[in-house]
């Protein structure tokens, strides 16, 4: 199994592949202030196994196109959508977030939780803008420094892992330069990281390691996750995911 297949195998049975939460999803959606009299066109980009895509299909009068480049995640999503009774409102699309087959101005809402870093925040919001209708809304979560300064250790770790990490005001500036008007922002609380992401992941590692007979690669992947969690627990005062809601300027 190559490293990508291992990552898929570790994550595919979990409800989330990154920090997030149901209440936070609703808070972001409220801030989006969508007009829901007519059916909405929605895209969820980097949808993983589908917690937000399914929630969007449940609460909105909408068609949701759920995009991910990993087919295994989309299969889990499709099963979960059937179980939730919303499969008829979700289309899955296997493809890359930086090469989307959509028409211009196709969507009222583009959603993306914990995924845009894969192409970079600035590149992502700039590229996706064309697919929003005029005054369409973007709801995107992105790792964010929550203070102006921080200990060297955590600064170095995240700058190496994701050089684009920044403060909320820096992200707002990116959104404004890319042609959006920011309309809401909040940070995800600790339970979104621990209860909803790191702990379910930790609980699935014993079986994962057994499945892979404690191979060096499997052990290394688990260790990487444990180190990331330990770092979070030590330095959570300095970073979180920020949820950014912004409207496309005309």
> Contact positions toward ligand SAH, by CB under 6 A?
16-18, 20, 46-48, 51-52, 68-70, 73, 96-98, 113-115, 118
Other CB atoms within a 10 A radius of the CB of residue 154 amount to 18
Tell me the residue ranges of DSSP E strands in 7-73.
Answer: 40-45, 62-68
> Which of helix, strand or coil describes residue 246?
strand
Q: How far is the CB of 20 from ligand SAH (least distance, A)?
A: 5
Q: How far is the CB of 37 from ligand SAH (least distance, A)?
A: 28
Q: How far is the CB of 2 from ligand SAH (least distance, A)?
A: 15
Q: Which is nearer to ligand SAH, 42 or 115 (CB)?
A: 115
Q: Which is nearer to ligand SAH, 51 or 92 (CB)?
A: 51
Q: Which is nearer to ligand SAH, 99 or 216 (CB)?
A: 99
Q: Which is nearer to ligand SAH, 16 or 80 (CB)?
A: 16
Query: How many Å is the Cα radius of gyration of the chain?
Result: 18
Helices (H) and strands (E) in the chain, counts: 11, 8
Q: How far is the CB of 26 from ligand SAH (least distance, A)?
A: 15
What is the DSSP code string of 183-235? EEEEE--HHHHIIIIIHHHHHTHHHHHHHTTT-HHHHHHHHHHHHHHHHHHHH
Name the residue with the smallest CB distance to ligand SAH.
48
């Amino acid at each position: 199994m190559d490293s990508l297949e291992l990552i898929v195998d570790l994550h595919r049975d979990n409800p989330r592949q990154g920090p997030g939460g149901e209440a936070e999803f609703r808070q972001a959606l409220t801030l989006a202030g969508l007009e829901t009299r007519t059916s909405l066109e929605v895209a969820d980009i980097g949808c993983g196994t589908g917690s937000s895509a399914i929630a969007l299909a449940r609460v909105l009068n909408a068609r949701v196109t759920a995009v991910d480049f990993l087919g295994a995640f989309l299969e889990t999503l499709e099963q979960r959508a059937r179980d939730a009774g919303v499969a008829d409102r979700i289309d899955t699309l296997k493809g890359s977030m930086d090469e989307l087959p959509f028409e211009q101005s196709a969507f009222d809402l583009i959603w993306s939780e914990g995924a845009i870093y894969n192409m970079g925040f600035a590149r992502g919001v700039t590229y996706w803008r064309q697919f929003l209708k005029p005054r369409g809304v973007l709801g995107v979560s992105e790792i964010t420094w929550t203070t102006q300064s921080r200990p060297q250790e955590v600064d170095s770790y995240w700058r190496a892992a994701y050089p684009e990490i920044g403060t909320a005001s820096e992200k707002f500036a990116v959104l404004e330069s890319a042609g959006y008007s920011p309309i809401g922002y909040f940070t995800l609380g600790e339970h979104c990281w621990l209860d909803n992401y790191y702990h379910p992941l930790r609980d699935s590692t014993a079986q994962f390691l057994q499945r892979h007979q404690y191979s060096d690669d499997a052990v290394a992947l688990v260790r990487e996750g444990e180190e990331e969690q330990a770092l979070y627990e030590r330095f959570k005062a300095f970073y979180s995911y920020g949820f950014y809601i912004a409207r496309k300027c005309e």
